[in-house]
Amino acid sequence: MSINLKANIRQFIQFGLVGGSGVLVNLVVAALSKKIAGWVAGISEHDAFLNLFGSAYHIRWFNVFLTIAFIVANTWNYQLNRMWTFKTAEMRSWWRGFFPFLLTGIGAFLVSQVVATLLMNPVSPLSLPVEIFDDSTGFRTKFYWATAISIVVAMPVNFLINKFWTFRKIKPVVLKEEVPPRTIEETP
């Protein structure tokens, strides 16, 4: 096995471990957001948050909880990947590296939002069955499963884009060295 392939496999495993910790952070923040909104304001993840242009469609509170969880987990993952997974890459400043990571994360986040919405919507062909996910216990809560599944779907694409864009090696700038012209006295 070539050294480059081994390094890529090692990075993928590290990225996966960081991502796994990010999934846990994401799930904890999403669950806490859901619980706090319920305790403080009596809000359910199924309640409408914002109507979409006067239509029958709404952004739901679960979308808001997932957004909060994404921002926290994305920042967590960026810092861990920067310190561990891609530490050998020449780094930009924290903020200059964070924004490409955030943009990549937003792309994956949008995919996960679509997947979560399809899993949460009771009329979707991909809806998680209400008979099993009836919200009677934590393990039967549709929101938790939709969150976890949507994160897993987005991970491989997220890795590839981050590896080849966010954490790519910065190419050194080579300045052209100019040789001064010879004078008549220097010619042999």
Domain span at residue 58?
3-168
The domain tally of the chain equals 1
Could you tell me if residue 47 is inside a domain? yes
Could you tell me if residue 178 is inside a domain? no
Question: What pLDDT score does 147 carry?
Answer: 86
Q: 149: Cβ–Cβ under 8 A, 6 or more apart, which residues? A: 115, 116, 119
Q: How far apart are the first and last CA of the chain?
A: 55
Could you tell me if residue 176 is inside a domain? no
Question: What pLDDT score does 58 carry?
Answer: 87
Type of residue at 34? K
Q: What is the mean pLDDT of each run of 10 residues along the chain (188 residues)?
A: 80 86 92 94 90 86 93 93 78 81 85 91 91 88 89 77 72 68 66
Could you tell me if residue 74 is inside a domain? yes
Question: What pLDDT score does 159 carry?
Answer: 74
- DSSP for the chain reads --HHHHHHHHHHHHHHHHHHHHHHHHHHHHHHHHHHHHHHH---TTSEEEESTTSS-EEEHHHHHHHHHHHHHHHHHHHHIIIIITTTSPP--HHHHHHHHHHHHHHHHHHHHHHHHHHH-TTSTTPPPTTT--SSSGGG-HHHHHHHHHHHHHHHHHHHHIIIIITPPPPPPPPPPPPPPPPGGG--
Q: In this structure, are residues 76 and 21 in contact, taking their beta carbons and an 8 Å threshold?
A: yes
Residues in the chain, overall count: 188
Could you tell me if residue 175 is inside a domain? no
Could you tell me if residue 138 is inside a domain? yes
Could you tell me if residue 106 is inside a domain? yes
Q: How far is residue 90's CA from residue 125's CA, in Å, rounded to a whole number?
A: 46
Could you tell me if residue 188 is inside a domain? no
